[in-house]
Structure 1
Amino acid sequence: MSQRTVEDDALLDAARACVLAVGVRRTTVTDIARRAGVSRMTLYRRHPDVTSLIQALMTREFSAIIGDVNRTAATLTSARERLVEGAVLGADRLTRNPLFLRIVDVDPELLLPYVTTRLGSFQHLVVDAFEAQVRDGVADGSIVASDPPIVARSIELALRGFVLQTLAEGAEAAREPELAELRRLLDRYLSP
């Protein structure tokens, strides 16, 4: 991601406020510009349309989750422990993120391509991070993986299913036991 300016952050903050208020589909360039205190032309110079601005917002928002969980897991001893704990915490935090929850609630159809046909920018970041962690685990002996890219994609795919299932009605009650099972599943999958 390129270096953002204060103005970029103000635009993303305004877009976030709009999405939380009315959802993605009802968010307009005019609303975002007004909330950010800039002209529509200023917004268009940074982002050609609302879609690209929302994509940048989701990448910023969800990348922050990656950073937070990596800092939390950084104190663990092995790469496998860091990967497993980071993956579980990341999935849990994503399903509690207000922006993600609002999209699921108001505009769930927007998630369908990311579930069925393509990986988005955030998913690519996750897979890349997992691949690096898998390689670190192979190097420190805590992970067995003959093909780190395949293992990384497999972990992302498992987490994607977990995230979507966790959003189902009534899933909150089962969250802690399912997080424990997810942790066990990933740990056993990666263990030598």
Structure 2
Amino acid sequence: MLSISNDQSVDIGDRIMAAAASCVRDLGVRRVTLAEIARRAGVSRPTVYRRWPDTGTILSALLTERVTGAWREVPARRPGRAGLVARIVEVAQQLREDDVIASVLRSAPEVAMVYITGRLGTSQQILIDQVADELRTAQADGSVRPGDVRQMSAMLLLITQSAIQSGPMVAPILDAHALAGELSHALNGYLAP
């Protein structure tokens, strides 16, 4: 269990998010309660309610932070298509290894399915916008084929999301290294001029 209640220097919102992550890892999504999040964060339930109206909203914010945080943590190291593909593949690897994301996929696949088949979530919208910006730049330097960057970005999301969610299923065939290599080939082939 995560013990963060003694560190008062950490922002309350950050403490609540860390506590929510701890709950998801330890209990699975279905057993997370607002009371347990508050207890682990060392705050009262009203303190949590002032920031988020319910557990579902907290979990949604947590997942958005995990996904967009992975994108922020992986900088673009090279310009153009090569840099963008490398960044996407590295972010996908981080998300495949993220213990909170893995717990959601394992303990509440129906929650994940909403964002896989039903609707775009906040983090997906953010990623589509950010990748579209990088695609626009890569088109300008000639390393990415012409096309609607938002449509292309959405397709990159679909390809990458599939590799993240289905990676464990094909692990006997594609270990993490091979999966990264094949994802890179797929993305490069899709984007090549």
Superposition TM-score, scaled by structure 1 size: 0.90
Asked whether the 8 Å contact 1:85–1:183 carries over to 2, the reply is yes
Question: What are the Cα deviations for residues 82-110 of structure 1, in whole angstroms up to 9, with x where unaligned?
Answer: 21001111111111101011112211221
| Inter-partner Cα distance in structure 2 for 1:172 and 1:98 | 22
| Inter-partner Cα distance in structure 2 for 1:189 and 1:116 | 22
| Inter-partner Cα distance in structure 2 for 1:10 and 1:156 | 30
Alignment of 1:85-164 (within 5 A): 85-164=86-165
Question: What are the Cα deviations for residues 159-179 of structure 1, in whole angstroms up to 9, with x where unaligned?
Answer: 111112202264485332222
Q: Please, which runs of 5 or more residues in structure 2 have no aligned partner?
A: 1-9
Q: For structure 1, which segment, 111-120 or 163-172, has the greater mean C-alpha deviation from structure 2 after superposition?
A: 163-172
Aligned to 1:56: 61
Aligned to 1:75: 77
How many residue pairs align between the two structures? 184
Relative to 1, partners in 2 of residues 1:172 and 1:22: Cα closer, same or farther, differing over 3 Å? farther
Secondary structure, aligned partner of 2:30:
coil
Superposition TM-score, scaled by structure 2 size: 0.89
Aligned to 1:27: 32
Q: Please, which runs of 5 or more residues in structure 1 have no aligned partner?
A: none
Aligned to 1:12: 17
Q: For structure 1, which segment, 139-148 or 35-44, has the greater mean C-alpha deviation from structure 2 after superposition?
A: 139-148
- After TM superposition, give the deviation of residue 133 of structure 1 in Å: 0.8
Asked whether the 8 Å contact 2:67–2:123 carries over to 1, the reply is yes
One-letter code of the match for 2:180?
L
One-letter code of the match for 1:16?
A
| Inter-partner Cα distance in structure 2 for 1:11 and 1:161 | 30
Question: What are the Cα deviations for residues 5-48 of structure 1, in whole angstroms up to 9, with x where unaligned?
Answer: 91111110111111111011101011011111111111101000
Asked whether the 8 Å contact 2:105–2:165 carries over to 1, the reply is no
- After TM superposition, give the deviation of residue 61 of structure 1 in Å: 1.6
Aligned to 2:175: 174
Instruction: State the identity %.
Output: 32
| Inter-partner Cα distance in structure 1 for 2:12 and 2:172 | 39
Secondary structure, aligned partner of 1:141:
coil
Aligned to 2:71: 66
| Inter-partner Cα distance in structure 2 for 1:172 and 1:99 | 25
> Could you say what the CA RMSD is over the residues aligned between the two structures, in angstroms?
1.6
Say if 2:41 is the partner of 1:36: yes
| Inter-partner Cα distance in structure 2 for 1:18 and 1:144 | 44
Aligned to 2:4: none
